[in-house]
Amino acid sequence: MIFADFARALGQMSDRRFRRVLLLGIGLTLALLVLVYGLLLWFLDSVSPDGLELPLVGYVTWVGDFFHFGSILLMLLLSVVLMVPVASAITSLFLDDVAQAVEDRHYPHLPPVPRTGFGDAARDTVNFLGVIVGANFLAIFAYILFPFAAPLIFYGLNGYLLGREYFQIAAMRREGRKGARALYRKNVGQVWLAGLLMALPLTVPLVNLLVPILGAATFTHLYHRVSRR
């Protein structure tokens, strides 16, 4: 049944509302990375010296250039590591549109629901970003201690995080926070397995940017399926 939910979500990827959310997420993520890099350059310009007196070497003037070159490498590394979680978090601001598109097409008999307020969506986005970045940072230690199990740890952890987040986004629209948590606890196994399916493309460049859209759509189907029991 989970694969059927995923297949129905995949079949709707050409929906213009899906494309709009995807482009908004990627665009805002790139803008955020550019802003962060601009602030980093401003900080380096204000604190890095034009030159430095080194023992046995004398006065050198390339220190500022070294810091600026290092900042480029740092931002390239951060863009690779953080692009997907940041894009996922920012895209989650607009996942109401994805869930509504799914319901309009597959569940047209349902009554409309009010949109999630921007403040609530922004709070959930910040919380999700903090959890997913923090958990993956801590998991680095597990990768070092258990290198042969690293792929299992990565997919298991991110499957759990993505499943919990996207299911609650889908369920909260019609159940509220308390109802969504209760429904999640009753179906935690299914939600985790569906989250694993979402986690698999995370390591595939470009494809991983589709994960938030596919996740929101897949879990909207999953929510409607388990809520009818």
Dihedral, CA of residue 23, residue 28, residue 30 and residue 32, to nearest 10: -170
Inter-residue contact 135 to 157 (CB < 8 Å): yes
Selection from 165, 168, 174, 166 nearest residue 114 by Cα: 174
Count Cβ atoms within 10 A of the Cβ of residue 181 and give its class: 0-12 exposed, 13-18 middle, 19 or more buried. Answer: middle
What's the full length of the chain, in residues?
A: 229
Query: Distance (Å, rounded) from C-alpha 173 to C-alpha 115?
Result: 8
φ, ψ (nearest 5 deg) of residue 52 = -150, 140
Res 63: pLDDT = 47
The neighbour count for residue 104, using CB atoms within 10 Å, is 13
| Residue spans of alpha helices (H) in the chain | 2-10, 16-47, 63-91, 95-106, 118-145, 150-186, 188-199, 211-227
CA distance 115 to 68: 44
Angle between helices 2-10 and 211-227 (to 10 degrees): 130
Centre a 10 Å sphere on the Cβ of residue 19 and count the other Cβ atoms it contains.
Answer: 12
The per-residue pLDDT for 188 is 92
**Per-residue model confidence as pLDDT tens digits over 112-164:** 887 776 677 777 777 877 787 788 778 888 888 898 998 898 889 888 988 88
- Amino acid 59: pLDDT: 45
Task: Note the pLDDT of residue 46.
Answer: 64
Question: Pairing between strand 58-60 and 52-54?
Answer: antiparallel
Give the alpha-carbon dihedral of 65, 70, 71, 73, to 10 degrees.
130
**pLDDT of the residue at 62:** 45
pLDDT of residue 190: 92
The segments of the chain whose pLDDT lies below 50 read 51-54, 56-60, 62-63
SS3 of 19-45: the string is HHHHHHHHHHHHHHHHHHHHHHHHHHH
pLDDT at 88: 63
pLDDT for position 94? 75
